[in-house]
Amino acid sequence: MSDATDQQYEQDVSNFKKIMPSLLDKGLDNINLSMFNEETKKTVLTLLGDEYARRGKLSEAMKAFVLSGNRNKLIKIGEDYEVVGMFANAIDAYRLANSTEKLTEAGNKCLEDGKLQDAIKAFRALNNTEELVRVGEQCVTKSKWDYAIEVFSSINNREKLIEVGKHCLEDGQLGYAAKAFELANDKEMLSTLGDTCMKQGLFTTALKAYQLAGNEMMVQFIKENFGSTVH
């Protein structure tokens, strides 16, 4: 830019700083910057983001930095969230910044600290199947069946879903077992689940399992003999 253009640019920035409180009160969604060139728009949005961040309104700051395309500022917000232990928010910031490195670091840290849901979120943002399997296996170890099912379902790992379902069946977690076997489309294990429910007198649950398994013989048996108790 020429000296004259530089001076005008600095003047524009100075003017925006003076009206910053009014712009902040107006809100990002209600500010029209279409009359400015791209450089000026990015500068104003970055200034707004900085001020939102200074005031502790990090979600608004993130929105401003996304609009200005300022990855470094987004990463800084993510790091600020990490400091206060808000990893889910940090991961959102790193995802918006498209930072593979920071997402990987956050995912590994969450996994080490037992923050399984946040670890899942980080590695799903990366679409990292290998790491998701690792998280899922730790979920199984900790008997976090819902998270394990979520992970293995998201990566379409039928073998692992069946494995989780069997663990749930052994643990007496019949609802989770049913969900895992249904997602894996394992009709044999769904029938086995139905048999287990029958032995425990859980006829409604057994009926649903047999229906999912396509086991018409047992469906008819329950309806004919225990129809008044199922719903």
Residue 171: CB atoms within 10 A of its CB come to 12
Kindly report the three-state secondary structure assignment for every residue of the chain.
CCHHHHHHHHHHHHHHHHCHHHHHHHCHHHCCCCCCCHHHHHHHHHHHHHHHHHCCCHHHHHHHHHHHCCHHHHHHHHHHHHHCCCHHHHHHHHHHCCCHHHHHHHHHHHHHCCCHHHHHHHHHHHCCHHHHHHHHHHHHHCCCHHHHHHHHHHCCCHHHHHHHHHHHHHCCCHHHHHHHHHHHCCHHHHHHHHHHHHHCCCHHHHHHHHHHHCCHHHHHHHHHHHCCCCC
pLDDT of residue 4: 47
- Is residue 6 predicted with pLDDT exceeding 60? no
Q: What is the value of pTM for the model shown? A: 0.78
5 vs 22: which has the higher pLDDT: 22
pLDDT of residue 218: 95
pLDDT in tens, 164-201: 999 999 999 999 999 999 999 999 999 999 999 999 99
pLDDT of residue 211: 95
Which of 35-44, 45-54, 113-122 shows the lowest mean pLDDT across its residues?
35-44
pLDDT of residue 16: 67
Which of 47-51, 120-124, 128-132, 214-218 shows the lowest mean pLDDT across its residues?
47-51
Average pLDDT (53-74) is 91
pLDDT band of residue 31 (cuts 50, 70, 90) is confident
Distance spanning both ends of the chain, measured CA to CA: 76
Q: How far is CA 197 from the centre of its chain?
A: 33
